[in-house]
């Protein structure tokens, strides 16, 4: 029976967590030296390994015989913690609300000692979703944590957390994973699974995952199901069907080069992929916004959060533009966003916008 790659390759040790060595090395050494904190904050984009790392850490600090800082999965404690009904590692999803009541009585429950291991671990996912009263309850516990309690708070939106919580946590920032790291990871998995995959198909799948290991594995599962053991770049493009950064950048580039024919051809191609023209207008505005950031910011990725490969695409395209021209083009595409919903021919409106951008470029030159 086929087991989803997404489940089968979920990391079980720190060394299997992809692309977050700056975090896993610290956690491993904490396990090895026994210097465990009371509260950890894991932040970062979805699918970068926060929850998996939290689960590994929760087991590792309890394991009787850790292997290089990771849980052994063989000792009695590891075995008991692998049971989803264990009471020592408590996972709470703050987004789903169903266990938020538990936060309120955490203060009561933290008094009880762990049943199997040394520590009782609370993993609170999407912690920024907690209500104010739940935050207060959590804060009171963080102020005087009993020695056998460890909190791991995970969030995609760290700016929504109260400063009082932040100041009590050891913070770890999970990064988006580089394209090449994702490609290598996928190659390893497909080789182990004896799945054929074209070189370009690897690149397309990794690029579509946009830095997330989890997204990549879910995409890979789709490809395996659709391609029946032989994954080609063409089939991947058929499934993804989306328009990626480079195709929008191609339009921007044609505008810069005043190549109207090329710009119209690319737009036509996007339409044939079944893309809604309203979305294209919005995406073009975003593309020019990203180009402005790439051109003008010292550390553009602080805002953009792209992998280096994608960032380089933007930096390269931005080089040929002057900033005023980028700003003008952004304004032109943003001005048609509301109009295009009611346009009889949305594509013509987009073409008109392209022509307007070209005209501006000419005036700029004179």
Q: Which residues bind Zn ion (CB under 5 A)?
A: 63, 71-72, 75, 78
In this complex, which beta carbon is closest to Zn ion, that of residue 15 or of residue 102? 15
**What is the three-class DSSP state of 232?**
coil
In the complex, minimum distance from the CB of residue 14 to Zn ion, in angstroms, rounded to a whole number? 14
In this complex, which beta carbon is closest to Zn ion, that of residue 83 or of residue 101? 83
In the complex, minimum distance from the CB of residue 165 to Zn ion, in angstroms, rounded to a whole number? 31
Residue 158's nearest CA partner among 137, 172, 178, 144 is 172
Question: What Rg value do the Cα atoms of the chain yield, rounded?
Answer: 25
Alpha carbons 43 and 352: distance in angstroms, whole number: 43
DSSP 244-304: -HHHHHHHHHHHHTT-HHHHHHHHHHHHHTT--HHHHHHHHHHHHHHHHHHHH-SSTHHHH
In this complex, which beta carbon is closest to Zn ion, that of residue 61 or of residue 177? 61
In this complex, which beta carbon is closest to Zn ion, that of residue 82 or of residue 225? 82
In the complex, minimum distance from the CB of residue 176 to Zn ion, in angstroms, rounded to a whole number? 31
Alpha-carbon distances of 25 from 69, 229, 299, rounded to whole Å: 9, 36, 26
DSSP 37-91: -SEEEEE-STTSSHHHHHHHHHHHTT-SS-BTTB--S-SHHHHHHHSTT-SSEEE
N-terminal to C-terminal alpha carbon distance within the chain: 68
Alpha carbons 47 and 40: distance in angstroms, whole number: 18
In this complex, which beta carbon is closest to Zn ion, that of residue 75 or of residue 130? 75
In the complex, minimum distance from the CB of residue 17 to Zn ion, in angstroms, rounded to a whole number? 18
In the complex, minimum distance from the CB of residue 146 to Zn ion, in angstroms, rounded to a whole number? 23
In the complex, minimum distance from the CB of residue 75 to Zn ion, in angstroms, rounded to a whole number? 3
In this complex, which beta carbon is closest to Zn ion, that of residue 72 or of residue 304? 72
């Amino acid at each position: 029976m086929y087991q989803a790659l997404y489940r089968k390759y979920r990391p079980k040790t720190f060394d299997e967590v992809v692309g977050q060595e700056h975090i896993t090395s610290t956690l491993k050494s904490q396990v090895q030296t026994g210097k465990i904190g009371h509260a950890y904050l894991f932040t970062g984009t979805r699918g970068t390994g926060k929850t998996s790392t939290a689960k590994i850490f929760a087991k590792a600090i309890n394991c009787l015989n850790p292997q290089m800082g990771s849980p052994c999965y063989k000792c009695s404690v590891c075995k008991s913690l692998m049971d989803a009904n264990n009471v020592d590692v408590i996972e709470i999803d703050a987004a789903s609300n169903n266990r938020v009541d538990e936060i309120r009585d955490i203060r009561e429950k933290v008094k009880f000692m762990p049943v199997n291991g040394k520590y009782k671990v609370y993993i609170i996912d999407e912690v920024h979703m907690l209500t104010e009263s739940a935050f207060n309850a959590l804060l009171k516990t963080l102020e005087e944590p009993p020695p056998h309690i460890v909190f791991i708070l995970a969030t995609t939106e760290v700016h929504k957390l109260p400063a009082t919580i932040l100041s009590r946590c050891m913070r770890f920032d999970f990064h988006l994973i580089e394209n090449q790291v994702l490609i290598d990871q996928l190659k390893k998995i497909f080789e182990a699974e004896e799945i054929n995959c074209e070189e370009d198909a690897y690149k397309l799948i990794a690029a579509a995952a946009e830095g997330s290991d989890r997204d990549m594995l879910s995409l890979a599962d789709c490809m395996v199901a659709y391609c029946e053991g032989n994954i080609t770049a063409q089939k991947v493009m058929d499934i993804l069907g989306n328009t990626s950064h480079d195709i929008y950048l191609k339009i921007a580039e044609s505008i810069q080069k005043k190549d109207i024919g090329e710009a119209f051809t690319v737009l036509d191609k996007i339409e044939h992929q079944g893309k809604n023209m309203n979305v294209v207008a919005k995406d073009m505005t975003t593309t020019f916004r990203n180009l402005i950031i790439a051109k003008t910011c010292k550390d553009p990725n602080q805002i953009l959060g792209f992998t280096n490969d994608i960032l380089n695409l933007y930096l390269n395209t931005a080089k040929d533009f002057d900033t005023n021209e980028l700003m003008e083009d952004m304004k032109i595409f943003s001005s048609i966003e509301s109009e295009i919903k009611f346009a009889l021919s949305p594509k013509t409106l987009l073409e008109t916008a392209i022509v307007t951008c070209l005209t501006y470029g000419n005036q700029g030159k004179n």
